[in-house]
Amino acid sequence: MSKVGIIGDKDTVMGFLALGIDIFPAYGADEIRKTINRLAEREYAIIYITEEASLQAKETIAKYKDMELPAIIVIPGISGSMGLGMNEVRESAKRAIGADILFSE
C-alpha cells in the first residue's frame, strides 16, 4: 500500500491528520532534507511539502524530480500561497509537452 505524507510547519500539517495523511512537522533546512530522504527511503509514494519548507530543500527536491516515486508536490502553507506550486506544475507541463499551456494573463 502506498503511503502519503506531508512536511511543513506544525500549524499547516496538523490539518492533514483528519485525511489520514502522515504528518511530519519539520523546521530548518537540515531537518526538512533529512525528512524528505527518510520518507523516500520508506517508500512514500506522495510527499506534500509546504512552499516555505520547499525553499529550504530545493536541491533535495530536485534529486527526486525526475524519479517516478516519490512525487513531491509543493502546496501553500498556512500563511497563503507564494505561487511556487503552480510554477512547479507549469514547469512540469513544459518539460512534458514542450510548450507552456498553463500561461496566465
Domain ranges of the chain: 3-97
Residue 14: what pLDDT?
94
Q: Which amino acid is at 33?
A: R
Residue 78: what pLDDT?
80
Looking at the domain that runs over 3-97, which CATH code has it been given?
Answer: 3.40.50.10580
Q: Which amino acid is at 56?
A: Q
- CA–CA dist 91, 99 (Å, integer): 9
Write the DSSP string, 12-53.
HHGGGGGGT-EEEE--SHHHHHHHHHHHHHTTEEEEEEEHHH
Per-residue pLDDT tens for 48-82?
Answer: 999 999 999 999 999 998 888 999 989 888 876 76
Contact 40, 63 (CB under 8 A): no
Residue 2: what pLDDT?
82
Per-residue pLDDT tens for 3-44?
Answer: 999 999 999 999 999 999 999 999 999 999 999 999 999 989
What are 92's three cell numbers?
512540469
The label of the residue with cell 507541463 reads 93
Confidence of residue 47 (pLDDT cuts 50, 70, 90): very high
